[in-house]
Structure 1
């Protein structure tokens, strides 16, 4: 089930379970926005970073976007196991909000970065993931 579609050609957001299936099927990275309803910086990122037209276009082309609220969402199916959303977020390294997690097309966890990011910093991060710079650092 798609949980949100922004008007005017914005980012199409999915639930985690649906997003993971689509990412594998479309051979795209998955971006997970870990957020809460009370988080002011989450709202700022939604209103500014995720509304930036270059960010919207880049995410749409290269990622499946997921929103996950660990305080409200019930469960996440990952690598054959079912996790409470809060436990999954903690295992993904989320210790504050917002946080942005990334998974590759195989569903392998790449990492999570904490905090608000403006459009420029966020675009650099997105390109880092798409260009697989993380693989170069591991060698």
Structure 2
């Protein structure tokens, strides 16, 4: 009987903690796919500039981008792109080719200050705005509202 109770509680705990793995994941695009999609759908790009070594980038993924309110807002009005500028690649923006680092410099108007950085890019006008650092979910939601109505 005691073994049955232990088994029940063990299974209940496993099921309870495994539901987190079924949490909704946001659709992230590559620069090429996302830029094209944003132009076609006339949507704003929210670009997460990150690196593998950036601890605060991982915190932002875990605590900000994982929130349903943030995901719902992004999916409704934005195209989400993740970009690691340290990886090799060529990125086309306004008919010009850039490396990842060059693209970030272009989007930041040569004022890039570190990771994580979030860019709001309006592909049909070429305008871009940068927010630097880790941003909690509630303030990030306010930024999404601000940039959704900016241009």
TM-score using structure 2 length: 0.79
Q: What per-residue deviation string (whole Å, max 9, x for no partner) do you get for residues 81-116 of structure 1?
A: 110111111222232000001112515222111101
Matching residue within 107, 128, 137 for 1:110: 128
- For 1:24 and 1:18, locate their aligned partners in 2 and report how far apart those are by CA, in whole Å: 10
Matched, 1:129 2:147: yes
Q: How many residues align?
A: 128
CA contact (8 A) 1:24 1:107 kept: no
- Could you tell me which runs of 5 or more consecutive residues in structure 2 were left unpaired when the two chains were aligned: 1-20
- For 1:122 and 1:86, locate their aligned partners in 2 and report how far apart those are by CA, in whole Å: 24
Provide the aligned C-alpha RMSD in A: 1.7
Matched, 1:30 2:48: no
**Residue in structure 1 matched with residue 83 of structure 2 by the alignment:** 68
Say which one has the larger Rg. Answer: 2
CA contact (8 A) 1:20 1:107 kept: no
Structure with the higher helix share, 1 or 2: 2
Higher mean C-alpha deviation, range 118-127 or range 9-18: 9-18
**3-state DSSP of counterpart to 1:43:** helix
Matched, 1:120 2:135: no
**3-state DSSP of counterpart to 1:51:** coil
Q: What per-residue deviation string (whole Å, max 9, x for no partner) do you get for residues 49-105 of structure 1?
A: 000010010001010000010001412101111101111112222320000011125
- Could you tell me which runs of 5 or more consecutive residues in structure 1 were left unpaired when the two chains were aligned: 1-5
**Residue in structure 2 matched with residue 19 of structure 1 by the alignment:** 34
- For 2:125 and 2:132, locate their aligned partners in 1 and report how far apart those are by CA, in whole Å: 20
